[in-house]
Structure 1
Amino acid sequence: MDNKITQVALDGLENILKVGEADKEHSPSQINQYALFIEEAGGMEKIHNLQLHDNIEIYKKAYNIIDKYFAEEGEDEDDNELMPEVDHQTGQFNFEGDVSAPQGGFNFGN
């Protein structure tokens, strides 16, 4: 595959996605319709695979497109639920203290 053609194609997709970002502000669904179209056509997977490309410029462009237009919206919120609580006086994490090994120890399927 010719690197120049790939870069031009990624530039074109990025320009289309930029227009979708501008349009989503006026859309009642607040969704980038062009990103949805690309995802439904399997384009997101193709762009994701280009992150493994030998050409650093193609890798960077593909990474930036995925990060900007296809990143999960609620990703950070879900991660915060996994974090232990913080004691605001000491600034330390509060872990469960009553966790113990099962009676007879662990069995890992000998």
Structure 2
Amino acid sequence: MKVAIIAFAALGLAAAGSAAAATRMSDVDYLRANRCRGIAAGMGADTASLDALIKAQGGARIDVILRHGEEEASRAKRQTADANMKERLSAELASGCAAYMGGGSGGKAVASQ
């Protein structure tokens, strides 16, 4: 009986661990979300959902990815100042960034597209 309880507990922990791993964004998606945050900030859009997502997803990242994320956000924000880029960036914000702007760390935000 004790063996069965221990086995079920181990399976439960394994399932919980895999569920937690499934909600973690890939590094590429994390960088894309940072780019979206930069575009949104540069265009004066609300960044609250992106901020929450980036904060929630940034905790377990290595420093290099965190730094690249910050650089990507800064680069995207600078690009919004270019009048020639406004239309393309606005379209990117409306389409490519929509998955990351869903809020938090669940749902579409973790789907790699």
| Global fold match (TM > 0.5) | no
TM-score, normalised to structure 1, is 0.25
TM-score, normalised to structure 2, is 0.25
Greater C-alpha Rg: 1
Relative contact order, higher structure (CA 8 A, sep 6+): 2
